Amino acid sequence: MRGIFIRHGESTGNAGLPSHDLALIELTELGRTQAQRVAHAWREAPTLIVTSPFLRTQQTAAPTIARFPGVPVEVWPIEEFTYLQPARWKDTSRADRMPHLEQYWGRADPHYVDGDGAESFATLLRRADAALTRLAALPDDALVYAFSHGQFMQAVRALVTQAELDERGKMQNFWRKDEPMIANVEQVRLARSASGWQLLPP
């Protein structure tokens, strides 16, 4: 089977605006344009479309859903990694959060939980592994378009390409201060065979 993860289009959070509720962050006008371009660029109809519960992925998926109206749509727990306690990021911009980000990633403890409402890096990896397991259970000829988030997609990619690293090793390779590892509407393409998962070229 094949699974294509797509990061959501540019969101108001990506554009530097303060965030109040991570699940309700919307796309910018650029993000909406990006979502339309994604929908027009598909070369095959999928057998399943998946989104995270978060609004920005559902808005990104909407033009693709409209293009393939007969394809089933499911919501899976493939939402963004919430590693800071919500009280630290509520109504803040990324610049405001940077000291907390640097402290969190500098700690490099995959089991550390920042507070109520946060999850550990190890939990993120388990969610990513559960998504891969769910995909692997689909028929061999399945093609899934999964609209997700940058850090969740990084976790999926790390499980496939960095299997030799333990959780701490994966975490140490995970974050870069000044650059997103996966850009808006970038894709991570995977194929499953008898030998396991493989990362496909973009």
3-state helix, strand, coil in the chain (%, to 5): 40, 15, 45
pLDDT values of the chain reduced to their tens digit, one per residue, 202 residues: 999 999 999 999 888 887 778 888 999 999 999 999 999 999 999 999 999 999 999 999 999 999 999 999 999 999 999 998 887 777 777 778 888 889 999 999 999 999 998 999 999 999 999 999 999 999 999 999 999 999 999 999 999 999 999 999 999 999 887 766 899 999 999 999 988 999 998 8
Please report, for residues 2, 34, 97, the alpha-carbon distance to residue 19 in angstroms, rounded to integers and kept in the order given.
Answer: 34, 21, 11
